[in-house]
Structure 1
Amino acid sequence: MGREQVLGARRVVVKVGSSSLTTAAGGIDPDRVSALVDVVAAARARGAEVVLVSSGAIAAGLAPLGLSRRPRQLAAQQAAASVGQGLLIHRYTEELARHDLIAAQVLLTVDDVTRRSHYRNATSTFTELLARGVLPIVNENDTVATSEIRFGDNDRLAALVAHLVHADLLVLLSDVDGLYDAPPSDPSAALVPEVRAMSELADVAIGKAGAAGVGTGGMVTKIEAARIAVEAGIPVVLTSAARAAEALDGDEVGTLFHATGRRRPSRLLWLEHATEPLGAVTLDTGAVRALVDRHASLLAAGITGATGSFHAGDPVDLVGPDGVAVARGLVNFDADEIPQLVGRSSPELEAELGPAYAREVVHRDDMVIL
């Protein structure tokens, strides 16, 4: 019996990891790329629109630069990405030409899925490419991303792209054929065929990135990507690249994560699932209730203090008197401005410091309850 969510998907985002595209030495494996392209072309031939989120740029750049493993330093990663991205897209272009398909390189930054103007431009670009029958091939723009503002891995990127393009399905491909209830190396480990609620994974031992040294993910980031997608109403299939054809045919392979939520703004998905807070703002009990129960904005009157080094626009945790984070939001003030705002009313701040200081410390539209 096939999976209806897969068979009925008209727009699909497929994400493939570095380890599924490259050799042990770090270079692009032509056979693996060719096999993946054949699978994507077959899905296109059946009438599905496909967006491919492809890792592999940094891995592809390792060998030409004489590197044996993925470097730790950001500048070295960016250098490898600069070399490898062209090699990767060239290989895809050649393979897609066998199927009379055109590749389009789309390099995204966090701004492209979180800032409204960038988001709308990105959406328009994807819409135009798909309408023209072009296959968008997406990667993070590693050459300009900073360590503070980046997706961190292409699993999260794929989940946010699935939301951005209004996908019906997200397929995560790696070197593991699904989610297991224990490390796959454990002889007693069993495949988890379906996940209907993320709470079902409470007792599942989830592994980290593999030993090949070419990727950044691992099962942890795939589960997090699945969480982002399903909470936005998009089902997810997690399986190996070797079983990609079966997965897109709707066969019961890998692990199917059922959708649990509805669409919401991409910047809020990113804020909750793909950011590290740069500080914390402490709230009194009344402010906690206002945020959690009434979904109100955070005003200065409800603040008791702040920690960390952050600037206006940075993500911060909003913490109750007990030290537990109740929300995360994009703050409107620098950390060194917070002390003069603590506990003061908006009219008082406007009269003393000017109207700019009477605005919300965190607006409810830039906040997620945790």
Structure 2
Amino acid sequence: MPLNQKYRYFYITKARKIVLKLGTKVLLSHEQDIQKEKIYQLVGDIAEFRKKGYEFCIVTSGAVGFGMKTLGIEARPTDIKKIQALASIGQGLLMERWNEIFRRYNIPVGQILLTYDVIENRKRFLYARDCLNALEEYGAIPIINENDSIAVDELKFGDNDMLSALVSNLMEADLLILFTDTDGVFTKNPHKYPDAQRIPFLETISDDIFNLIEDKQSPFSLGGMRSKLKAAKLSAKAGTGVIITNGYSPNLKAILEGEDIGTFIKPESTIVKEKKKWIFFNQKIKGKIFVDEGAEDALCNHLKSLLPGGVIGTEDEFPEGSLVGIFNKERKMIGKGITFYSSEEIERIKGQRTDEIPKDPDKRFYEEIIHRDNMIIFK
């Protein structure tokens, strides 16, 4: 057995916390009579592996799709108000369907609807994680979707592939399985080219891999292979292994037993602390801090905190406690972190030595603008 296959086998067979993501196309395909038993088999596999101590969480799309199907609408609208209304109609139907499927195996399910502010606000992030843990204690399967009925652009994840990456972080999952309409990642579009070859193992997801993808927009859904690769790349960097595989005929049992199915993306292990994982997954910065060459070297090569002396300036207004991007003189983002100071305060103390900064008796003084423990640096 090649070394990559050995690694994949041992990693997957030791994984115990699993996130499954099923998109709208995959889920609606199982509404056809000929396909219905396949979704029951998937849940049957979940039931069997739970008896062995496995934990599962499902990220599901489909609220808008179920709403469209109910009203006989063929093309997804672009008007946000109509999308929200369809999600409102379809979300109850979606959960009704999941309840029906899991009822066969006497497993309760719990609905969690999220918007992006759950990751922007660390307290909400921790509350969501606590809810996941409590559902597990009750023996229920969390069914998670984006709250499309109230989500607007600034509160959206973009698609549920990215949401599944966040949930993997919330759950501290070992493995994320992204179900799609192909058997994994291929050397070319397998729907068009019979000679397309499945790629069984990816060490990393490079630009060359993205260049292989030809996505076709579905009238019911937003995601595609490109969005799955973005989510897989994010999850792998945070230390979660990922499998992209066929959801029309899902074989969870074979996957968890280590069979060569789909494409496995090897996890990295660069981010350990929970708070740093939260910073890593939060993609929306509130502002920018620009640093000089000396500070860039201290941050990137010597694992130092960001001090006022190395700061050149800021961009955009932000309060203390904000997640901000750290940029070098060439305006390249080299990291991000949680700042102890507002943009107004940073502009006042930038370039100064710590012992030169006047102390405000009514405010706690920090030597660092961003402490190393509240920061991640991009290598």
**Contact 1:318/1:327 (CA < 8 Å) preserved in 2?**
yes
Q: Deviations over 1:346-370 (max 9, x none)?
A: 4544447964675643333332212
What is the aligned partner in structure 1 of residue 11 from structure 2? 5
Q: Distance in 2 between matches of 1:61 and 1:286?
A: 56
**Contact 1:271/1:368 (CA < 8 Å) preserved in 2?**
yes
Tell me: CA distance 1:113–1:358, structure 2 relative to 1, closer, same or farther (3 Å). closer
Match of 1:259, SS state, is coil
Match of 1:39 among 39, 42, 45: 42
Match of 1:193 among 195, 200, 205: 200
1:159 corresponds to 2:165: yes
Match of 2:105 among 99, 107, 113: 99
Tell me: CA distance 1:229–1:37, structure 2 relative to 1, closer, same or farther (3 Å). farther
Match of 1:12, SS state, is strand
Bigger Cα displacement from structure 2, 174-183 vs 121-130: 121-130
Unaligned 5+ segments in structure 1 are: none
Q: RMSD between aligned alpha carbons?
A: 3.2
What is the aligned partner in structure 1 of residue 332 from structure 2? 324
Q: Deviations over 1:82-127 (max 9, x none)?
A: 2221110011111211222211112234454565443443333323
Q: How many residue pairs were aligned?
A: 365
Q: Distance in 1 between matches of 2:64 and 2:274?
A: 26
TM-score normalised by L of structure 1: 0.84
What is the aligned partner in structure 1 of residue 59 from structure 2? 53
Bigger Cα displacement from structure 2, 8-17 vs 160-169: 160-169
**Contact 1:179/1:238 (CA < 8 Å) preserved in 2?**
yes
What is the aligned partner in structure 2 of residue 365 from structure 1? 373
Q: Distance in 2 between matches of 1:143 and 1:357?
A: 43
Tell me: CA distance 1:68–1:117, structure 2 relative to 1, closer, same or farther (3 Å). same
TM-score normalised by L of structure 2: 0.82
**Contact 1:350/1:357 (CA < 8 Å) preserved in 2?**
no
Q: Deviations over 1:20-65 (max 9, x none)?
A: 1236xxxx83655663243122232133332111111222223456
Match of 1:84 among 65, 82, 90: 90
Match of 1:202, SS state, is helix
Percent sequence identity over matched residues? 30
**Contact 2:287/2:317 (CA < 8 Å) preserved in 1?**
yes
Match of 1:29 among 9, 28, 31: 31
Q: Distance in 2 between matches of 1:354 and 1:284?
A: 30
Q: Distance in 1 between matches of 2:317 and 2:142?
A: 38
Match of 1:210 among 189, 207, 216: 216
Q: Distance in 2 between matches of 1:70 and 1:353?
A: 57
Q: Distance in 1 between matches of 2:80 and 2:342?
A: 26
1:91 maps to a residue whose letter is R
What is the aligned partner in structure 2 of residue 250 from structure 1? 258
Deviation at residue 327 of structure 1 after TM alignment: 1.0
1:223 corresponds to 2:225: no
Structure 1 runs (4+) greater than 6 angstroms displaced? none
Match of 1:233 among 231, 236, 239: 239
**Contact 2:210/2:229 (CA < 8 Å) preserved in 1?**
no
Deviation at residue 248 of structure 1 after TM alignment: 4.2
Q: Deviations over 1:289-318 (max 9, x none)?
A: 222123333233222123345555554321
**Contact 1:160/1:269 (CA < 8 Å) preserved in 2?**
no
2:31 maps to a residue whose letter is D
**Contact 1:37/1:92 (CA < 8 Å) preserved in 2?**
no
1:14 maps to a residue whose letter is L
Tell me: CA distance 1:177–1:367, structure 2 relative to 1, closer, same or farther (3 Å). same
Unaligned 5+ segments in structure 2 are: none
**Contact 1:18/1:59 (CA < 8 Å) preserved in 2?**
yes
Tell me: CA distance 1:171–1:132, structure 2 relative to 1, closer, same or farther (3 Å). same
**Contact 2:119/2:281 (CA < 8 Å) preserved in 1?**
no
Tell me: CA distance 1:266–1:160, structure 2 relative to 1, closer, same or farther (3 Å). farther
1:193 maps to a residue whose letter is P
